[in-house]
Structure 1
């Protein structure tokens, strides 16, 4: 009888310690770093050591933050919006928050900023005028054909030549 009672006490203590350990483990949410965004989706900074529950409590709208730590890639959303260096979990959230429908992973050089200006040459007097410099975001196949100093003829007549010049650093030859 004494052995049965001792065995029963040990068994109850063991089961209690296991069940208590499980309860403590379940209630402990993992902590992450999060990127906080403004209402336009612009990154404002990181908050670390917060669980998902804590983030939901402090920022109920999930459109204003996303979890960091996952691999980051570049994306093309709805065939026109290019987003650089964010994890896929952010892109999925972006679709919901901004009413978008599709996304695909693209090379991070898919879109680039290029400086352009128009060079107008009046042939009879050999005079040249330039338009103001513009910065353009160009993507896809267009980027693959560009290089520093590239010129594309827009129009040529008997007395004028108009070309579009490209620069990746703002200086033109």
Structure 2
């Protein structure tokens, strides 16, 4: 019995393969930063203690839940551009601009680390904007704009907790 070789479908969405590849590469870095941020936030949710415990525990849960849901949106956009989404710790570590936190920091240090990670993720998202704009890729521009809004707002809220 002969087996048919499957044909790879041709993507014709008005964005050339080179542009799609460049956008997917940028989105892969955003996915890696987003996953690293998710993991950091969830870790801090589990391990926070001190006078701000309840406030931070609840806040971190809202943040990591939002972040978890965003991961799918980013990965699915990469797939819609016809590229594989990274999905291993090794790939994320290689692509992420956010470094893993060793040990369990104090609550205030957790907030500082999360501000830096939120800002790093925003910078990564912002770096993909001109690439998507040049390719006239509105779905990616929309996704990036939404992610920037979340990361910048979350960084501001966290920074506000650090003021005297």
Q: Do both proteins adopt the same fold according to a TM-score greater than 0.5, normalized to the shorter chain?
A: no
Larger Rg: 1
TM-score by length of 1: 0.23
Structure possessing the higher relative contact order (Cα contacts under 8 Å, 6 or more residues apart): 2
Larger strand fraction of residues: 1
TM-score by length of 2: 0.24
